[in-house]
Homo-oligomer: A and B are copies of this chain.
Amino acid sequence: MQGKIALEEHFAIADTIGDSQVYARPEVWEGLKSKLLDFETQRLEQMDKHGVEYAILSLNSPAVQAIHDVPRAIEVARKANDILAEQVARHPKRFGGFAALPMQDPEAAARELERCVKELGFHGFLVNGFCQVGDENTVAYYDADQYRDFWQAAAALEKPFYMHPRDPLLQREPIYEDNHWLTGPTWAFAVETSAHALRLMGSGLFDRHPQLQMILGHFGEGIPFNIWRIDHILRKGRRGLRADREIGDYLRSNVHLTTSGNFRTPTLLSSMLEMGADRIMFSVDYPFEKHEDAATWFDSVHISENDRVKIGRQNAIRLFGLDL
């Protein structure tokens, strides 16, 4: 399929490139590094080759979220956004931007988001999960009270946000000890990100901002598979749940999924049957994943051509109001 739009496509800057090294074997690191730092060569070439017309780019993970020194987090976010904005300006028909935000300082994050949307023309923001604040062991999740005003400001901008994975701090999830293979995209990413997303849904965030849209990668980090059970259990007792509606209601009203890194048909079917095809969007997760793997699967998966065009393109145009 030509004209695809991809939404979880990463770049890095000098200040953040090191964060991605853990996700590459030594022998492939140089290649991955060069792809993360590149915009106009390998990236556009791969997009062209595999029918991706437009990509909304975002900073690598965890990047700003892991900079516990708050002024530096603010500075790196701004720098990354400016670098991205320059590339978007050079290729406005090929690249869009998600803002990186210094969530360590909610007020600064709101200001930076406003700048990114209003001045740089970005399409929303992407956060790499929780942030570390002040020291490396203090973490903040965005359902916390101190983010109330941030969400208010974010919702007012009427742009979606992407809740992207990062690894948990090991001391907070010791179950991965001696099982390093479970960390990162194998398993821990989904566990960490789904819990954060559920916390947001359960916090009443989408009651306060019913138009706000959250994007989850990797087909929802496992949530669609268990969404019925979540609500089935909660119907027996709310146990501190602060939301007005059922979790599945938010999933179907305030969440979009992408295909990033999970190019598997039964998982697509299960997600379509929970969410509908209007809330699923193509993505690659480049350069951690290959356009070839994503596109070979997606372009030929046996769904209706009508849904292929929605998932591959139209849903993103509608969600972001793209001029394509």
A residues near B (Cβ < 8 Å) are 24-25, 28, 141, 143, 168, 172-176, 178-187, 190-192, 194-196, 198-199, 202, 218-219, 222, 224-226, 228-230, 232-234, 236-241, 248-249, 252, 261-267, 269-270, 272-279, 293, 301-307, 310
Contacts and interface: CB of A to CB of B under 8 A. Distances in A.
Contact of A181 (B239, B302, B307): B239
A270 B272 contact: no
Contact of A175 (B184, B190, B192): B192
A306 B276 contact: yes
A138 to B, nearest CB: 12
A175 B195 contact: yes
B226 A302 contact: no
Contacts of A179: 143, 198-199, 202, 240
B195 A187 contact: yes
B273 A266 contact: yes
A225 B270 contact: yes
A132 to B, nearest CB: 14
A14 to B, nearest CB: 25
B180 A307 contact: no
Contact of A273 (B141, B241, B303): B303
A21 to B, nearest CB: 12
A183 B240 CA distance: 11
A238 B186 CA distance: 10
B226 A190 contact: yes
A202 B182 contact: yes
Contact of A305 (B229, B248, B266): B248
19 contacts: A24-B237, A25-B237, A172-B175, A175-B192, A179-B199, A181-B202, A182-B199, A182-B202, A186-B234, A190-B226, A190-B229, A218-B226, A218-B229, A228-B302, A252-B306, A264-B302, A265-B265, A267-B270, A301-B302
Nearest to A220: B225
* Of listed A141, A222, A229, A237, residue having the most chain B CB within 10 A: A229
A176 B266 CA distance: 30
A266 B302 contact: yes
* Of listed A181, A199, A233, A237, residue having the most chain B CB within 10 A: A181
A93 to B, nearest CB: 27
Contacts of A307: 273, 276
B265 A181 contact: no
Contact of A225 (B224, B275, B278): B224
Contacts of A173: 172-173, 175
A241 B239 CA distance: 38
Contacts of A264: 228-229, 302
A301 B230 CA distance: 18
Contacts of A225: 219, 222, 224-225, 267, 270
Contacts of A228: 262-264, 267, 302
* Of listed A196, A239, A240, residue having the most chain B CB within 10 A: A239
Contacts of A276: 277, 304, 306-307, 310
A273 B273 CA distance: 11
